[in-house]
Structures are given as structure tokens and as C-alpha cells.
Amino acid sequence: MLKISTEIKSASRFVGERKAIELIAKAGFDAWDFSMFSMIHYDWKTRVGTLTDHPIAGKDAYKFARELKDIGESFGIVCNQSHAPHPTYCKEIADCYEKCIELTAEAGGKICIIHPDNYKPAEENAEIFNRLLPVAKGCGVKIATENMWNWCEETKSAAPAACSDPKSFLDHLNAVNDEYLVACLDIGHSEMAGLNTSAPEMIDALGAHLQALHIHDNDKRGDRHAIPFSMNIDFDAVAKALKRNNYQGYLTLEAVNHLSSYNAENLFVGIQELAAAAKKLGSMIENA
């Protein structure tokens, strides 16, 4: 059965990264996704990013990443991937990407998810990724770009963005054409109305390029980041597509809103629910 992972951001809000990794391990996950959003605060009004006082933003960031790696390994799990801050069009955020790749390596991760610039075509986003490839190769960490979305107020639905449909995603990968740039498919993003695609269609199109996932559920309209099997995405079809394409990566949850109704005292219950959902999907894939 495929191994399961989950992001640590939502649990860390209550108990910090160190304890979050411990609880994720005890809940039955095989790995953890290193969320790096705490590195920088982004002001959506001014579009300016500011470094925070979080450990991953300071001079001891590499030591902190190694500490998290050691904690995970002490409980029998590893870091499978990371998620760099976004949006990429923010210069202060983009300037942190080399460090994000290096921190991924320090934590033991093999893939760093870096969003494309929503508003740039494949050729221009390729320039961003090509600048990062030497660092990625030096660290032994692949960069995974992700299918994105914009929002249309008129229709109250998602609108096309970089990598939001099969052609755009493949155009981005082919513009770089390097084994160190791979695909992370966000299942929820691909199922949002207005983008005229679906997760199975994207999986079939990406094929062997697909080496990472962000798994969550939604109502087929908003980006809800809900626990799988709680809303409207057809995970049976997703499981069949992953099996059909011989997906070999981790099943990584990004259901960041699931733990919002929990607190530090009952957090473990919510994490156990996430693990159960991930294991259910793994079983569906195995039996598809």
C-alpha cells in the first residue's frame, strides 16, 4: 500500500512543529509534509512579504530543520516533501525559495513544492524554476510545481491560472524539461468549477510527471481543504486514475481546515481522523 503523509501547518498552530510531528507519527502516518508558510508573512493588500521571527526564518533555521528530522525519525517517520510559501509573484517570497529547498534537504525531504506564478505563462515560469534547479540538484531535492487557480467574482467560481488544466501543466513541465521539475497535483484545485478539468483527467495527462500530491475535499466550487470523503469529490475515480497510472509517491493530505474545530487537548482525535481517511484512500487505490 502507498505510504501516507500530511502537512504539519494545521496541527502546529496548536502545539508547534515538534509536537505535531510526534502526534502525526502516533496517529499512523508514515511521513510529514514540512509546511514553510511561517517563514514569511504576506500582506495580501500591499503584496509585500516580511520575514517573521519563526525559527525557519532565522539563522538557526537549518538546525531547526535537522531537529524536526530527528524527532520524526525517533518516532519512525520521515519528511517526504515540503511546501514553500506563496504567492510566487511576491519578490520577498520568491527570494526565499533557495533556502526552502536547502531546508527541505536538511529535514530529509525529497521534493519541495513551489507554486508557479499564477499570472505568468509557462515560458516565464520556466525562468523561475531554471534559476532554482542548480540548488535543487545540489541538494538532491526535486522541485514540484502545482496546479493553481484564480477567482472570478462575476461567476463566483475559479478561473484559469498557471498549471490549472492539463495543457498548461504539461506546457510548464516541458518548458523546463528536466527530471528535477516534477508535478504535484492538488486534487482539490483540479475539481473546482470554472477550470473545466478534473483530478482523474489531470492524473492521466501528467502520467510519470506526477510524483507528489496534495489531497483534500471540496464542494466542487470553493477551495475548502476539507478532509477526504467529507464533501463532493469522487475519490473512487481519483483512486482508479492513480492506480491506472501506477502512481508511486506518497498520499499527502493538505486538509488544512479539518483541525480548525479542534484544540490542543483533543487535537490527536482530529489527526487520527486524517490518518484514517488517508489509509482509506490507500486501500481504494490498492483495490482499484
- Provide CB contacts within 8 A for 15, sequence distance 6+: 23, 264, 267
Greatest pairwise CA separation for the chain in angstroms: 51
pLDDT score of 258:
98
What domains lie within the chain, and their CATH numbers? Answer: 4-287 (3.20.20.150)
Angle between helices 235-244 and 199-206 (to 10 degrees): 10
SS3 176: helix
According to DSSP, the residues that pair with 146 across neighbouring strands are 184
Low-confidence residues of the chain: pLDDT under 50: none
Give the global pTM: 0.98
Give strand pairing partners of 35. Answer: 83
Do residues 179 and 189 make contact, with C-beta atoms less than 8 angstroms apart? no
**pLDDT tens string 168-214:** 999 999 999 999 999 999 999 999 999 999 999 999 999 999 999 99
| Per-residue confidence (pLDDT) for residue 269, from 0 to 100 | 98
How far apart, in whole angstroms, are the C-alpha atoms of residue 61 and residue 40? Answer: 13
DSSP 8-class letter at 116: P
| DSSP bridge partners of 79 | 32
- Three-state secondary structure call for residue 112: strand
**What is the pLDDT at residue 213?**
99
Half-sphere exposure at residue 109, Cβ-oriented, CA atoms within 13 angstroms: 32
Q: What is the pLDDT of residue 148?
A: 98
